[in-house]
Amino acid sequence: MRVLHWVMAILIVGELTAGLLMVHMYDEVAPIVGDLYPWHKSFGLLILLLILGRMVVRWRSTVPAFPESLQNWEKVSAHIGHVLLYILILVVPIMGYCMSSTYTMSDGVTFFGLPVPELLPKNDAQFEVFQLLHRIGAYVLLAVIVVHVLAVVKHRFFDRSHAGDNDSDVLSRML
């Protein structure tokens, strides 16, 4: 679980960064952006495969209970945050695949050079819907990740008990 967590964290940060470059900085980095699309699609599919594997591993594993020192609202928030992360990490690549599959000018979907069947018909109206869902999902995923990291920082550095120990340090459980 730990290895999958950190590998996926690196891949997702890379994908979000590439996506932002591709969407917001096209004119400034046009030569690089064209090369990013096939890599972005390949890594998106890899993330999709990894999250499916991670979901299987998580359902078969015993996940440690939240530290007792966490308030009830923190436990509920953490649970909601984790569910949102899993849903978004699953949905965003699917919307990206649907977007590429339906775009009439798409050069196809590949997985590190291997062609992936496009299961949806070409339709630019559907492409626009999938593009919007992919973009919104990516921004929401970014926001949830930021909140996730801020919560880790809060528990790591600001939730120290009077005795000096930090049993609410959730980061130590993932290292």
Tell me the torsion sign for CA atoms 131, 137, 94, 42.
Answer: positive
Please say whether the beta carbons of 149 and 157 come within 8 A. no
User: Which letter, b or e, does each residue of 13-33 get, where b requires 16 or more Cβ atoms within 10 Å of its Cβ?
Assistant: eebbebbebbeeeeeeeeeeb
Rounded-to-integer distance, Cα 145 and Cα 107, Å:
31
Listed ranges 20-29, 96-105, 148-157; the one with the highest mean pLDDT: 96-105
Which helix (H) or strand (E) element contains residue 111?
Answer: strand 109-111
Mean pLDDT of 17-23: 87
pTM of the model: 0.87
Specify which residues 111 forms β-bridges with.
Answer: 114
Specify which residues 3 forms β-bridges with.
Answer: none
pLDDT computed for residue 28 by the predictor: 64
pLDDT of residue 73 exceeding 60, the answer is: yes
pLDDT, tens only, 23-60: 877 666 566 666 788 999 999 999 999 999 999 988 88
Task: Determine the length of the chain.
Answer: 175
Domains annotated on the chain, with CATH: 2-174 (1.20.950)
Rounded-to-integer distance, Cα 99 and Cα 95, Å:
6
Token couple for 11: 């891949």
Task: Tokens 């096209």: give the residue.
Answer: 26
Classify residue 82 by its DSSP letter.
H
